């Protein structure tokens, strides 16, 4: 299931994503696995190994050495494919109104996160194959950038995800403040100016007072 639309995700998606939500954090805007095309390269790598194992099994079925070797080669290729498929199944890309999360791991679960307010730029890239199959790459730029979230490849329906994430990052609606639960405009978060801060300057042009000239010696 790679459809990122919240209304069409099954209940298990919401239950899995809810495990990583903070108190008061809204349900994810995006919760999806990577595109199945991520398995193409592992399949191409395993195909010659499977062919070799099959050839050893068929070479001399009565020969225990070649049959055992062929069986081990085929088993190794299948285990390799199973691990890659399991990694794809367990890796989730989640975006809430506060954070970007990337969960991974089969035996040991790992969650990498990046607060939305620290993201300064978002780049979306689609290769020719990505345009044909429907996947793309996200590149996040931020202060104190985390390597695990700097680039996320093989995201399904990347154009839809890009619009949704961009609306959270740079939209005029604002994002929820992490500390007091209020809503702070995005533009004020970028400049660091607090919401509703009083100012003595008029709304129009802001001139400075002229610098007084030093007294001239007579």
- What confidence category does residue 153 fall into, taking pLDDT thresholds of 50, 70 and 90? very high
> Residue 132 domain-assigned?
yes
Residue 99 · residue 24 · CB < 8 Å = no
Tell me how far CA of residue 138 lies from CA of 100, 125, 162, 181, in angstroms: 12, 7, 8, 28
The pLDDT value given to residue 206 = 46
The pLDDT value given to residue 23 = 84
Residue 212 has pLDDT above 70, yes or no: no
- What confidence category does residue 145 fall into, taking pLDDT thresholds of 50, 70 and 90? low
CB atoms within 10 A of CB 86: 13
CB atoms within 10 A of CB 166: 12
How many domains does the chain divide into?
2
pLDDT, tens digit, for every residue of 30-51? Answer: 888 999 999 999 999 999 999 9
> Residue 213 domain-assigned?
no
Structure tokens that stand for 11 in this block: 């209940």
The domain that contains 14 carries what CATH number? 2.30.29
Higher pLDDT, 179 or 40: 40
pLDDT, tens digit, for every residue of 2-38? Answer: 444 444 555 566 667 778 888 888 888 888 899 999 9
pLDDT, tens digit, for every residue of 98-120? Answer: 899 998 888 888 888 888 888 88
Range of the domain at 78: 41-87
- What confidence category does residue 150 fall into, taking pLDDT thresholds of 50, 70 and 90? confident
3-state secondary structure of 181: coil
User: Do 150 and 110 fall into the same domain?
Assistant: yes
> Residue 164 domain-assigned?
yes
The pLDDT mean for the chain works out to 77
User: Do 100 and 161 fall into the same domain?
Assistant: yes
What is the rounded average pLDDT of the residues 168-179? 54
């Amino acid at each position: 299931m790679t459809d990122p639309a919240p209304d069409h995700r099954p209940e298990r998606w919401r239950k899995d994503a809810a495990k990583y939500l903070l108190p008061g954090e809204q349900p994810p805007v995006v919760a999806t696995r990577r595109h199945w095309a991520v398995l193409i390269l592992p399949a191409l790598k395993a195909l010659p190994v499977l062919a070799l194992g099959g050839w050893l099994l068929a070479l001399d079925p009565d020969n225990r050495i070649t049959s055992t070797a062929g069986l081990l080669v085929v088993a190794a290729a299948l285990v390799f494919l199973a691990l890659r498929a399991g990694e794809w199944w367990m890796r989730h890309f989640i975006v809430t109104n506060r954070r970007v999360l990337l969960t991974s791991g089969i035996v040991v679960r790992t969650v990498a996160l990046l607060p939305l307010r620290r993201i300064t730029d978002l780049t979306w890239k689609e290769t020719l194959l990505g345009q044909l199959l429907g996947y793309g790459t996200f590149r996040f730029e931020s202060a104190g950038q985390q390597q695990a979230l700097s680039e996320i490849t093989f995201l399904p329906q990347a154009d839809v995800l890009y619009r949704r994430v961009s609306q959270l990052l740079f939209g005029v609606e604002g994002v929820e403040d992490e500390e007091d639960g209020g809503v702070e405009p995005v533009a004020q978060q970028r400049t660091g100016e607090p919401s509703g801060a009083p100012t003595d300057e008029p709304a129009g042009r802001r001139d400075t007072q002229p610098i007084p000239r030093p007294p001239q010696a007579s």
